[in-house]
């Protein structure tokens, strides 16, 4: 699936919808920030739901977590997850996401994309970490609108298939560390709703009445 964020430019999809259909790829417009990216098998896709009003900031300029600091924490989760597999990654100034470190034999490449939507302090959307992803799909687009840097995966960096369950476990540990919270695994959303004691989706009418203010980040 190719997803288009709020800032997506049509020219960053490089082939026609007919050609995409022949590859079994759909286009989906969404309300996250950012440009165009690909979601498919072999990716760890996480859509964290946080009320940022309940998370203290560590920057000293505000009491609770803001959008930029939240995205930086997501990047930290991904950096730690990759480090658990001996893949050194870093941030790139002026860009969002997580990138491999440039080496003599390999250029710097994007290994994880981030695009979030924040409404009244509540987050949605999130990140996609390329684990065993077929990177040929990224040739159909200009990933995140950045033509100057390639896309990579954990599989490509390590030269072997990666155990997906191990990546999931490492990401969960990283979330717990970075956000200083507990992480529990549930089998479905109904179980999650029962654990939290709240409905998983607010009624559409309630959203309309609140006239939610929204922000986007990518």
Distance CA 141, CA 72 (A): 25
Chain-centroid distance of CA 81 in Å reads 13
Cα angle for residues 12, 122, 205 (degrees, 5° grid) = 95
Q: How many C-alpha atoms does 176 have within 13 Å on its Cβ side?
A: 10
82 part of the active site: no
Q: Which residues contact 77 (CB under 8 A, 6 or more apart)?
A: 127, 171, 174, 175, 178, 179
Establish how many alpha carbons lie within 13 A of residue 196's alpha carbon, considering only the half-sphere containing its beta carbon. Answer: 16
Number of residues that this document lists for the chain: 218
- What is d(CA 134, CA 202) in angstroms, rounded to the nearest whole number? 36
Given the residues 74, 79, 144, 151, select the one marked as catalytic.
144
Separation in Å, CA 176 to CA 74, 94, 139, 143, 211: 12, 27, 34, 29, 33
Cα–Cα distance, 68 to 130 (Å, whole number): 23
Q: What are the residue numbers of the active site?
A: 144
């Amino acid at each position: 699936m190719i997803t288009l964020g709020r800032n997506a430019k049509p020219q960053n999809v490089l082939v026609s919808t007919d050609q995409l259909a022949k590859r079994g790829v759909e286009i989906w417009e969404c309300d996250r920030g950012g440009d165009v990216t690909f979601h498919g098998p072999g990716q760890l896709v996480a859509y964290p739901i946080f009320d940022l009003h309940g998370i203290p900031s560590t920057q000293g300029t505000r009491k609770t977590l803001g959008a930029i600091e939240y995205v930086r924490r997501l990047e930290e989760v991904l950096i730690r997850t990759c480090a658990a597999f001996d893949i050194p990654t870093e941030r790139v100034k002026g860009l969002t996401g997580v990138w491999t470190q440039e080496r003599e034999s390999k250029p710097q490449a994007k290994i994880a994309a981030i695009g979030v939507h924040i409404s009244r302090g509540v987050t949605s959307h999130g990140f996609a970490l390329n684990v065993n992803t077929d990177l040929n799909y990224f040739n159909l687009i200009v990933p995140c609108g950045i033509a100057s840097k390639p896309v990579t995966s954990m599989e490509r960096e390590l030269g072997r298939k990666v155990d997906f369950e191990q990546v999931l476990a490492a990401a969960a540990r990283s979330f717990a560390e970075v956000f200083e919270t507990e992480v529990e695994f549930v089998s479905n959303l109904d179980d999650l709703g029962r654990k939290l004691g709240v409905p998983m989706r607010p009624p559409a009418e309630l959203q309309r009445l609140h006239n939610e203010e929204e922000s986007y980040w990518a």
